[in-house]
A and B are shown apart, each in its own frame.
Chain A
Amino acid sequence: DARVTQTPRHKVTEMGQEVTMRCQPILGHNTVFWYRQTMMQGLELLAYFRNRAPLDDSGMPKDRFSAEMPDATLATLKIQPSEPRDSAVYFCASGSEYSPLHFGNGTRLTVT
Chain B
Amino acid sequence: SQQGEEDPQALSIQEGENATMNCSYKTSINNLQWYRQNSGRGLVHLILIRSNEREKHSGRLRVTLDTSKKSSSLLITASRAADTASYFCATDEETGANNLFFGTGTRLTVIP
The 0/1 profile, CB within 8 Å of A marked 1, for residues 43-78 of chain B is: 111001000000000000000000000000000000
* Interface size class, chain A: 20 to 34
Q: In the complex the two chains form, is A100's CB within 8 Å of B33's CB? A: yes
Q: In the complex the two chains form, is B102's CB within 8 Å of A42's CB? A: yes
The residue on A at minimum CB distance from B38 is A105
Residue count of chain B within 8 Å CB distance of chain A: 22
A48-56, A61-69, A80-88 - interface stretch: A48-56
**Residue among B33, B90, B101, B102 with most chain A CB within 10 A:** B102
The 0/1 profile, CB within 8 Å of A marked 1, for residues 64-104 of chain B is: 00000000000000000000000010100000011111111
**What are the 10 tightest A-B residue pairs by CB atom distance, in nearest-first order?**
A103-B42, A100-B45, A43-B102, A103-B43, A42-B104, A105-B42, A104-B42, A105-B41, A91-B42, A106-B42
Give chain A's interface residues, CB within 8 Å of chain B.
4, 31, 33, 35, 42-43, 45, 48, 50, 55-56, 59, 91, 93, 97, 100-106
